[in-house]
Structure 1
Amino acid sequence: MTFKTFTRHMAVSAIALGAMAVSAAADGELRLYNWSNYFSPELLEKFEKDTGIKTTIDSYASEEDLLAKLQAGGGGYDVIFPGTTTLGIMVDKGLLADIGVNKMENFGNLLPAFHTIAGDEERTYSAPYMWGTTGFTYDPAMVPGGKLDESWKELFEPRPELKGKIAMLNEMSDVWNAAAYYTGVDKCTEDPKEAQKILDVLMAQKPDVKLYSNDGTIDRMIAGEVPVHMQWNGAAHRVKAKKPDAVYVYPKEGTTFWTDVMAVPKDAPNMENAKTFINWMMLPENAAAASNYTGYSNAVKGSGEFLTDSLKGDPAVNTPEEFNDRLVPYKACSPASKDLREKVWTKLKS
């Protein structure tokens, strides 16, 4: 799906935003490449108004698609939104531009915990966009007894009433990680026997899965097409806006904690405009607008005052303290481990 293109031009050379200024050309273009439904059209419109830069956005269905696009030449995009796993690969392969994020005017607005990230420890290639978790959401009105256990077992060994009705994400890392947590296998294992355990769980589950999809997870749950959906927490928040009784689960075996970033392909045609955009996104009001739309948390200090009350009060977004020990951060896996993961995924999807 391609978002609406906004075409207004404003003859401005610099815009003052609060105590900080964002300098940009009075014209020019910017092309974004992001997940579908993961950036506010109104925020793009605001960026155009503030900078005069005509901005368009296209979407990809998976990080594998994003990586393939960059390896094939980048497709003429200026800003991309990879996750931590793909970010490290892109840096290693020399696919990204060193844009000196840590020297940008608004870098000081970031929370200290986000001053570094695996794969880009100095924060020269990337700035944080959204961060969140991967668990699952269910509709109490559609599940036996109105409640499911806080366990991946509900997806990998579904109750008889839910067989054939489970929806999974179509994201290799998220699915592999969940199965690894459930089987007690290190998600960075290099042991083929342990990888086989993960494959066995996924293959046994496959007949019970209605579909694997990253797109439409929100609408699918709201429409009642499935009772249970592996889901990112921001999507769960948006489901709850329409279905307040929906429950987001942090599985007790482990819940992936992730960060998505903004980065620039090395051959981006509008490099300076890309830098302007990333610096602009590190302003509290803009980061909050992105959070309010996506339902995910951001990494910018001072953005809290601009967040909606529903976002502040949703445990799917603001993880309850008692679940903190369930959160499993990103771990850089070896090439041998990644190779096993890809083989398992290929067999699962064949």
Structure 2
Amino acid sequence: MKIRMIASYTMALSVAAAPALAEGTLNVLTWEGYADSSFLDQFVEESGCEVNATYVGSNDDFAPKLMGGGGVYDLITPSIDTTALMIDLDLVEPLDPSMIEGWDGIYPKFLALDGIQRDGEYYGMPYSWGAIAFMYLDKAFDEPPTSLDALWSEENSGKISLWDDKSSIYVAARRNGDMNIYNLSDEQIAAARESLIEQKPLVRKYWSTAGELVDLYKAGEVIISNTWAGYQSSLLAAEGIEVTEFIPEEGAEGWMDSWMVVKNTPNRECAYKFLNMQLSEQGQCGVANVNGYSAANAEAARSCMTDEQFEALHQDDPEYLDSLLIWAPLGDRFEAYLNAWNSVKAQ
């Protein structure tokens, strides 16, 4: 199945003629907040490298955008369940860790993950991490929800939202009691799909960006959802809207995003300057302050965070990291998960 999937992506690449990249201008395909002006402007001024950012709403966006002719990129930041696919598709090139200051400060747990390495070489530089937690509007609940059942409850009908991402299959599987969520059988995927179809009439909207979910809460259209932990809740708090994040009794996924260099970039010098910045105090506390995410370089985080922020982001709490179901490459099962989620949306 993986061979067929790679072949279809390769066919798309052969059809799309790629325009030439401008030297000295980095084009990055990334998540909201990862190229924020609060820390990017200093980099541009000091390095002389311009940066253009295009944002994704799902990990499923990376391959189509890289191969569909919609633009050419130097750097990308897929999550750990998608990095191996980028390597399989020959879209990214090996990194030279000796050129990246702070590499030795990265949590060993992240450097040990299979998804960012192949044949003794690293293809991804761990950058940030966190949980796919759940969130509810405080004033809408007399009793705080503790289970995923709240997202299937008729009482919350029309005010539920889930991320428009194949990870919704993971959510439904856990609710069904299937905890091996990255290696589900065909029957378990089908059961998760049926649970999501059952839930769909209760869903106000599947959210695709941080801003979209925030707007749904602000308008009072959604009272419970999953969330990129630390990010949307902080944006809502800034608007005076009280929400609470929680880890349900069925558990929560964990994610880790890595910077990867797109194969044959003509901007390798600027790319490595950018990687060094992102792994330094400037980039690590930059993303922590903008998105509320945890930093992959523990040494940089310790240097630039207050004690309160360091503790709040679980930088000193390995047990929290171990408690999360860290996303894993789906391998040959990727297409089965994605097709199941697309089938739910097509109902």
Q: TM-score, normalised by structure 2?
A: 0.82
Residue pair 2:165, 2:341 contacting (<8 A) in 1 also: no
Aligned partners of 2:321, 2:271: CA distance in 1, in Å? 35
Is 1:30 the counterpart of 2:26? The answer is: yes
Residue pair 1:289, 1:306 contacting (<8 A) in 2 also: no
Gaps of 5+ in 2: 1-22
Opposite residue 248 of structure 2, the aligned amino acid is P
**What SS does the aligned partner of 2:114 have?**
coil
**What SS does the aligned partner of 1:129 have?**
strand
Which structure features the higher share of helix residues? Answer: 2
Choose the corresponding residue for 2:220, options 200, 219, 224. 224
> How many matched pairs?
317
Residue pair 1:222, 1:243 contacting (<8 A) in 2 also: no
Q: Equivalent residue for 2:105?
A: 109
For residues 146-172 of structure 1, the C-alpha deviation after alignment (integer angstroms, 9 at most, x for no partner) is: x332211111x2242x10110111111
Is 1:287 the counterpart of 2:287? The answer is: no
Aligned partners of 2:320, 2:28: CA distance in 1, in Å? 34
Q: Equivalent residue for 2:208?
A: 214
Residue pair 1:250, 1:323 contacting (<8 A) in 2 also: no
Q: CA deviation at 1:28?
A: 2.1
- Which deviates the most, 225-234 or 68-77? 68-77
Aligned partners of 2:78, 2:326: CA distance in 1, in Å? 16
Residue pair 1:81, 1:262 contacting (<8 A) in 2 also: yes
Is 1:139 the counterpart of 2:133? The answer is: no
Percent of pairs identical after alignment? 26
User: 1:258-337 maps to which residues of 2 (within 5 A)?
Assistant: 258-300=255-297, 301-307=299-305, 311-312=309-310, 314=312, 326-335=323-332, 337=333
Opposite residue 298 of structure 1, the aligned amino acid is A
Residue pair 1:129, 1:298 contacting (<8 A) in 2 also: yes
Opposite residue 174 of structure 2, the aligned amino acid is Y
Q: Equivalent residue for 1:256?
A: 253
Is 1:183 the counterpart of 2:176? The answer is: yes
Q: Equivalent residue for 2:63?
A: 67
Q: Equivalent residue for 1:345?
A: 341
Q: CA deviation at 1:319?
A: 9.8
When residues 271 and 324 of structure 1 are mapped into structure 2, their CA distance, relative to the original with a 3 A threshold, is: closer
Aligned partners of 2:138, 2:283: CA distance in 1, in Å? 35
Residue pair 1:292, 1:308 contacting (<8 A) in 2 also: no
Residue pair 2:33, 2:287 contacting (<8 A) in 1 also: no
Residue pair 1:81, 1:263 contacting (<8 A) in 2 also: yes
Residue pair 1:130, 1:260 contacting (<8 A) in 2 also: yes
Q: Equivalent residue for 2:194?
A: 200
For residues 46-100 of structure 1, the C-alpha deviation after alignment (integer angstroms, 9 at most, x for no partner) is: 1112211122212123222211122336822111111111101111221101122
Opposite residue 131 of structure 1, the aligned amino acid is W
Residue pair 1:101, 1:125 contacting (<8 A) in 2 also: no
Aligned partners of 1:226, 1:275: CA distance in 2, in Å? 41
Opposite residue 220 of structure 1, the aligned amino acid is L
Aligned partners of 2:187, 2:25: CA distance in 1, in Å? 51
Residue pair 2:33, 2:290 contacting (<8 A) in 1 also: no
User: 1:48-127 maps to which residues of 2 (within 5 A)?
Assistant: 48-72=44-68, 75-101=71-97, 103-121=99-117, 124-127=122-125
For residues 272-312 of structure 1, the C-alpha deviation after alignment (integer angstroms, 9 at most, x for no partner) is: 21121112211123311221111100111132342367744
Opposite residue 185 of structure 2, the aligned amino acid is D
Q: CA deviation at 1:257?
A: 0.8
> CA RMSD of the aligned region, Å?
2.6
When residues 318 and 253 of structure 1 are mapped into structure 2, their CA distance, relative to the original with a 3 A threshold, is: farther
- Which deviates the most, 129-138 or 68-77? 68-77
When residues 214 and 332 of structure 1 are mapped into structure 2, their CA distance, relative to the original with a 3 A threshold, is: same
Residue pair 1:117, 1:123 contacting (<8 A) in 2 also: no
Gaps of 5+ in 1: 1-26
Aligned partners of 1:318, 1:244: CA distance in 2, in Å? 27
Aligned partners of 2:144, 2:315: CA distance in 1, in Å? 21
